[in-house]
């Protein structure tokens, strides 16, 4: 039966005849809150429930919403209220929500989503879910826009209601959604560039919670309209990477009216695909039973697949949407629960991958209800799970047999490819590569490629070690085949900014090999992945290297912090900020303006005489030069030490070219520079001529000098002025300049990095008495020291050279002999692993008997 106004029918499982008489007369839904429903309370009238005796069959309504309180959570929130310090500093939310503006209950809801995001990030599992990795951004926006915060609080309450099945918790979510919707409508009425991110954030959060067809379609079409309106300034948006990728937010397909009966008939090939999915789920179930693991989750999914087969043209769009409700709920909530309970065990990851895969498989059966949206949200988790399982296998970090999980992942990966092809995404932008498990695509008979020449480009005194040279990922726009062993190094990084694991640390103007042009055997990469270099936490090493460079140069009370977002507020939080150093792919093919002016800003030739600006005369030291470009222009604010002061005074009257020569001949600078680029005796010393396809990277500096924001690039003829900027205005002024520079690159280019030169954060911690911050900063210094030590004791090159020599010798016997050699090695490794397990069990029994 159609609802009022010809709308969709009410869902049968939510009907109730136990509502109060007043609500029945008003034809509104009663929440059945006994003895006074909320509607009667709202209209200030006596509820008929007051005159009714308590019936035995009436469910007992809890007195208080179940928000999964624990004494520890209460203590954390109370401490948050007292100190104002956000309980999850690892989320890097600036500004953080101010506790004085929220009730204790609302703080619990904020705490819940933040704790989930923090916990999964700690286990590097945030990308295995649809929503948790976005929580820091939503919290940040919600701090400034209450309607976004209400939408996020509703999401948190909805998750808790799903966990507890508490109706009062669901009511809390309902109330917050109502407030968020009202605020969203008002914001849309005043839509502008300033509030566009907030409008988009609220639209997404509310669409994730929508369970009714009409409300969901309105939100989805509204979201699409917002994205279209934001195109002119998408590069300035905090959702810029999402907006540029329509695969993440596809427009919901036009749907017929909810009451329209003649929808498409399921095609035989789509029903056959569903049957194949069911057969695949049976394989997963058999694997779980064989290992004695819980099969409830996979059986639940199998039951859903059986039910979906009943879809027919007689179902309206609203009814088809309702059929998908269980799957949508599972996609949003089940992965979090699984990951928290299992810490991402291989079996749990395989189960989750198949939940996401079913969303891809059922999409053709529900084209009228925009199922492609939920399917596209499933792509990233599937690919991330595949990478994780593959990396566990090749790094030999687990003694368990990974062959069955990898074999089971073949089907999800195939479905990802099928879905992309069906959607027309032949060249996906967001995830450039993922492991596939269809045999070895490498030609083992080819000779192995030689590596980059380690000869210095210019002055031999400045010689960067090649020990950290990592291969860059394939060009996302390339149509060439993707290597099954290419693990995307940028996916887990905020805004896709690559870390030290993908870019050589403190070394610019280097040329990186592209992995697609070379062939390496699987276990060679496995050894390389298992070497200490891979253990360095992402995003920390560059900051540590540059900070210790400062220390060794004699600079006091200064450090570097890696920027995780292009946000002026975040940069200001680190203040005082002396300048920033920007790493980017050098546009070797970019043409200068016809009149000789820079692409952005203006050359200031006169300023070169009044500030420190040195031409870059050697090609492999622009990182150190960018650092000095900030330091030597801040001698009034920073204690740079006597040697650097003397160097600046000595070169004060020189032109930029002579300053560059003096820099390359400074014994202090040269020694400090090379101490952080110590050559390894175990690297591949084979010469290779650089080609035009190799990537070149470059460091430049931005800093305010004499009231002007300058770009200091030793490859330019003079400093580039970007307008007026005081020291205090620098965070606000430099961000648009960086955004414009990034905007000159294709939308798929994500290889950028930004370091801020700031005052030692330990000083601020001591000044304000923040012991927790002081502890974190001291721990960070300790980590940096350890990471720098790893750089000096890196045996990746040694392992590579030994393995290449052994492999080359084995290949002389032919591919078949080589394959047999590899398989024998795997077999022996497995036998040794089983022996260790048995030995470990025997040792445990001996200890028990001895006890």
Which residues make beta-bridge pairs with 753?
583
Residues 6+ apart with CB under 8 A from 64: 168
CA-CA distance, 492 to 479, in Å (whole number)?
24
Q: What's the CA angle centered on 290, arms 288 and 294, to 5 degrees?
A: 35
Q: Which segments of 167-235 are extended strands (E)? A: none
Three-class secondary structure of residue 602 per DSSP: strand
Return the DSSP state at 15: -
Count of Cβ atoms closer than 10 Å to residue 21 Cβ: 13
Q: Which segments of 673-751 are extended strands (E)? A: 695-705, 708-712, 720-724
CA-CA distance, 252 to 369, in Å (whole number)?
7
Residues 6+ apart with CB under 8 A from 592: 598, 599
Note the residue count of the chain: 851
SS (H, E, C) 378-442: HHHHHHHHHHHHHHHHHHCCCCCCCHHHHHHCHHHHHHHHHHHHHHCCCCCCCCCCCCCCCCCCC
**346-362 vs 325-342: helix crossing angle, rounded to 10:** 170
C-beta separation of 104 from 76 below 8 A: no
CA-CA distance, 551 to 137, in Å (whole number)?
34
Matching residue, tokens 């694997």: 287
Burial tier of 418 (Cβ tally within 10 Å: 0-12, 13-18, 19+) = middle
pTM (2 d.p.)? 0.50
- Residue 578, token pair as written in the block: 């002396």
Rg value, the chain, Cα: 30
Which pLDDT value is given to residue 425?
Answer: 58
Across the chain, which distance is largest between two alpha carbons, in Å?
Answer: 96
Burial tier of 1 (Cβ tally within 10 Å: 0-12, 13-18, 19+) = exposed
CA-CA distance, 635 to 651, in Å (whole number)?
14
Nearest to 627 by CA among 803, 507, 748: 507
CA-CA distance, 793 to 787, in Å (whole number)?
10
C-beta separation of 4 from 258 below 8 A: no
Task: Give the DSSP per-residue string, 176-244.
Answer: HHHHHHHHHHHHHHT--TTTHHHHHHHHHHHHHH--SHHHHHHHHHHHHHHHHHTGGGGGGSTTHHHHT
Which pLDDT value is given to residue 199?
Answer: 92
CA-CA distance, 209 to 328, in Å (whole number)?
9
- Per-residue exposure over 721-738, b if at least 16 CB sit within 10 Å of its own CB, e if not: bbeebeeeebbebbbebb
Nearest to 627 by CA among 510, 714, 719, 733: 714
Pinpoint the alpha helices (H) of 57-166: 71-83, 104-122, 135-144, 146-164
Count of Cβ atoms closer than 10 Å to residue 776 Cβ: 16
Nearest to 502 by CA among 736, 627, 492, 395: 492
Which pLDDT value is given to residue 528?
Answer: 35
Tell me how far CA of residue 202 lies from CA of 20, 141, 194, 295, 439, in angstroms.
33, 10, 14, 36, 44
Which helix (H) or strand (E) segment holds residue 757: the answer is: strand 752-759
Matching residue, tokens 């990095």: 753
Task: Give the DSSP per-residue string, 531-571.
Answer: SGGGGSPTTTHHHHHHHHHHHHTT-BSEEEEE-SS--HHHH
For the chain, which ranges sit under pLDDT 70?
A: 1-18, 34, 49-63, 241-264, 368-374, 394-400, 424-542, 587-592, 618-620, 672-696, 788-798, 840-851
725: phi then psi, degrees, rounded to nearest 5 = -165, 120
**What kind of architecture, by CATH, is found in domain 541-792?**
3-Layer(aba) Sandwich (3.40)
Count of Cβ atoms closer than 10 Å to residue 296 Cβ: 8
Which pLDDT value is given to residue 733?
Answer: 92
CA-CA distance, 77 to 675, in Å (whole number)?
46
Q: Any idea which residues carry the catalytic annotation?
A: 622, 698
Return the DSSP state at 252: P
pLDDT tens sequence across 305-314? 988 888 777 7
**What kind of architecture, by CATH, is found in domain 4-51?**
Irregular (4.10)
Which pLDDT value is given to residue 25?
Answer: 77
Which pLDDT value is given to residue 459?
Answer: 38
CA 804 vs. chain centroid, Å, equals 34
C-beta separation of 514 from 474 below 8 A: yes
Nearest to 11 by CA among 324, 373, 332: 324
Tell me how far CA of residue 767 lies from CA of 340, 462, 551, 760, 773, in angstroms.
38, 39, 21, 12, 11
CA-CA distance, 767 to 759, in Å (whole number)?
13
CA-CA distance, 116 to 126, in Å (whole number)?
9
C-beta separation of 8 from 318 below 8 A: yes
């Amino acid at each position: 039966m159609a609802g009022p106004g010809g709308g969709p029918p009410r869902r049968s499982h939510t009907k109730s005849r136990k509502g109060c008489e007043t609500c029945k007369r008003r034809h509104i839904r009663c929440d059945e809150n006994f003895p006074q429903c909320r509607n009667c309370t709202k209209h200030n009238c006596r509820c008929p429930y007051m005159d009714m005796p308590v019936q035995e069959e009436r469910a007992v309504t809890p007195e208080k919403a179940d928000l999964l309180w624990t004494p520890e959570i209460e203590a954390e929130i109370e401490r948050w209220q007292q100190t104002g310090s956000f309980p999850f500093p690892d989320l890097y939310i600036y500004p953080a929500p101010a506790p004085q503006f929220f009730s204790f209950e609302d703080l619990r809801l904020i705490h819940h989503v933040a704790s989930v995001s923090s916990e999964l990030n700690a286990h590097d599992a945030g990308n295995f879910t649809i929503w948790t990795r976005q929580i820091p951004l939503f919290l940040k926006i919600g701090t400034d826009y209450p309607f976004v915060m209400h939408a996020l609080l509703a999401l948190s309450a909805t998750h808790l209601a799903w966990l507890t099945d508490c109706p009062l918790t669901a009511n809390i979510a309902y109330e917050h959604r109502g407030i968020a919707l009202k605020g969203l409508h008002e914001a849309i009425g005043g839509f502008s560039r300033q509030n566009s991110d907030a409008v988009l954030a609220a639209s997404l959060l509310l669409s994730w919670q929508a369970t009714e067809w009409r409300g969901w379609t309105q939100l989805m079409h509204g979201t699409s309209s917002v994205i279209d309106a934001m195109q002119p300034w998408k590069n300035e948006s905090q959702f810029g990477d999402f907006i540029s990728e329509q695969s993440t937010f596809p427009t919901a397909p036009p749907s017929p009216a909810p009451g329209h009966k003649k929808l498409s008939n399921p095609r035989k090939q789509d029903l056959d695909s569903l049957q194949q999915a069911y057969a695949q789920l049976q394989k997963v179930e058999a694997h779980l039973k064989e290992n004695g693991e819980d099969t409830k989750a996979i059986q639940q999914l199998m039951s859903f697949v059986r039910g979906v087969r009943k879809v027919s043209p007689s179902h309206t769009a609203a009814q088809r949407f309702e059929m998908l409700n269980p799957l949508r709920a599972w996609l949003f909530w089940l992965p979090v629960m699984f990951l928290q309970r299992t810490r991402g065990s291989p079996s749990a990851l395989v189960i989750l991958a198949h939940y996401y895969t079913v969303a891809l498989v059922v999409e053709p059966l529900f084209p009228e209800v925009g199922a492609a949206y939920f399917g596209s949200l499933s792509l990233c988790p599937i690919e991330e799970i595949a990478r994780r399982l593959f990396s566990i296998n090749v790094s030999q970090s687990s003694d368990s047999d990974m062959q069955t999980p990898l074999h089971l992942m073949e089907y999800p990966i195939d479905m990802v490819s099928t879905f992309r092809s069906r959607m027309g995404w032949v060249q996906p932008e967001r995830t450039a590569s993922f492991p596939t498990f269809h045999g070895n695509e490498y030609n083992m008979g080819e000779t192995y490629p030689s590596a980059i020449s380690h000869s210095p480009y210019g002055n031999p005194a400045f010689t960067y070690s090649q020990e950290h040279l990592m291969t860059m990922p394939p060009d996302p726009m390339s149509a060439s085949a993707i290597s099954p062993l290419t693990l995307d190094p940028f996916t887990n990084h905020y805004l896709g900014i690559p870390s030290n694991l993908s870019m050589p640390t403190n070394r610019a103007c280097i040329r990186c090999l592209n992995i697609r042009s070379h062939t390496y055997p699987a276990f060679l990469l496995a050894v390389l992945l298992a070497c200490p270099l891979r253990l360095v936490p992402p995003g920390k090493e560059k900051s540590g290297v540059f900070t210790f460079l400062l220390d060794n140069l004699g600079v006091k009370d200064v450090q570097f912090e890696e920027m995780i977002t292009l946000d002026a507020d975040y940069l200001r939080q680190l203040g005082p900020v002396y300048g920033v150093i920007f790493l980017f792919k050098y546009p070797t093919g970019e043409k200068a303006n016809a009149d000789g002016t820079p692409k952005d800003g203006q050359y200031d030739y006169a300023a070169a005489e009044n500030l420190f600006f040195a031409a870059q005369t050697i090609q492999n030291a622009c990182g150190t030069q960018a650092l000095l470009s900030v330091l030597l222009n801040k001698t009034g604010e920073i204690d740079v030490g006597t040697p650097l002061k003397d160097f600046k005074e000595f070169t004060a009257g020189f032109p930029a070219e002579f300053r560059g020569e003096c820099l390359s001949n400074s014994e202090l600078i040269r020694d400090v520079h090379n101490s952080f680029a110590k050559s390894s005796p175990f690297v591949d010393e084979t010469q290779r001529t650089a080609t035009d396809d190799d990537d070149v990277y470059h460091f430049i500096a931005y800093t305010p000098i004499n009231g002007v924001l300058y770009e200091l690039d030793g490859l330019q003829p003079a400093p580039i002025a970007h307008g007026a900027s005081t020291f205090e205005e620098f965070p606000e002024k430099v961000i648009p300049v960086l955004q414009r520079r990034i905007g000159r690159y294709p939308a798929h280019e994500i290889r950028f990095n930004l370091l801020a030169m700031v005052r030692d954060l330990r000083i601020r911690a001591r000044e304000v008495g923040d012991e927790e911050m002081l502890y974190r900063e001291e721990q960070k210094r300790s980590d940096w020291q350890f990471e720098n030590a790893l750089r000096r004791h890196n045996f990746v090159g040694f392992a590579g050279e030994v393995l290449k020599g052994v492999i080359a010798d084995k290949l002389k016997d032919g591919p078949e002999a080589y394959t047999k050699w590899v398989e024998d090695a795997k077999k022996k490794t497995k036998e040794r692993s089983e022996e260790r397990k048995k030995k470990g069990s025997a040792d445990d029994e001996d200890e028990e008997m001895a006890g």
